[in-house]
């Protein structure tokens, strides 16, 4: 149980650090947020729980393919904000787009030979 609490605390610290950096230096906050810290930590935690090279390879490759549908969100949100759409609506629209693209990826992946 303490391991779960430590993971949650570490994740929270990362999010808080990104928010604090972003308040002062938005571009640097964006850079830190774009680093695959969550993915790397997830792989470390997964490896500690189940040190299986094939399982890790599958996980890392699937992570790559699932990142792609999330990228348009980071273009839609600023475009909406710049056109006067309120923040929360822009954020929800970006998240909904991402969910739709994830669903599309899950349907398309097997058809093009990807195992996700």
Q: Which two tokens stand for residue 39?
A: 């993915």
Residue 98 and residue 70 in contact, taking contact as beta carbons nearer than 8 Å: yes
Query: Which pLDDT value is given to residue 94?
Result: 97
3-state DSSP call for residue 51? coil
CA distances from 89 to 26, 44, 77, 94, 96 (A): 21, 35, 9, 9, 10
Considering the entire predicted model, what is its pTM? 0.77
Query: Which pLDDT value is given to residue 37?
Result: 84
Report H helices in the chain: 2-24, 26-34, 37-49, 53-67, 73-82, 87-111
Mean pLDDT by 10 residues, the chain (116 residues): 84 89 91 86 91 94 92 97 98 97 94 86
Q: Which two tokens stand for residue 66?
A: 């699932």
- What ranges do the domains of the chain cover? 52-116
């Amino acid at each position: 149980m303490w391991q779960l609490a430590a993971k949650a605390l570490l994740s929270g610290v990362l999010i808080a650090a990104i928010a604090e950096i972003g308040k002062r230096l938005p571009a640097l906050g964006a850079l830190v947020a774009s680093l695959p810290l969550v993915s790397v930590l997830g792989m470390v935690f997964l490896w500690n729980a189940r040190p299986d090279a094939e399982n890790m390879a599958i996980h890392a490759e699937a992570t790559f393919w699932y990142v792609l549908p999330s990228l348009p969100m980071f273009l839609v949100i600023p475009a909406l904000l710049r056109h006067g759409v309120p923040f929360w609506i822009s954020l929800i629209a970006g998240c909904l787009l991402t969910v739709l693209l994830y669903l599309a990826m899950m349907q398309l992946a097997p058809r093009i030979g990807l195992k996700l």
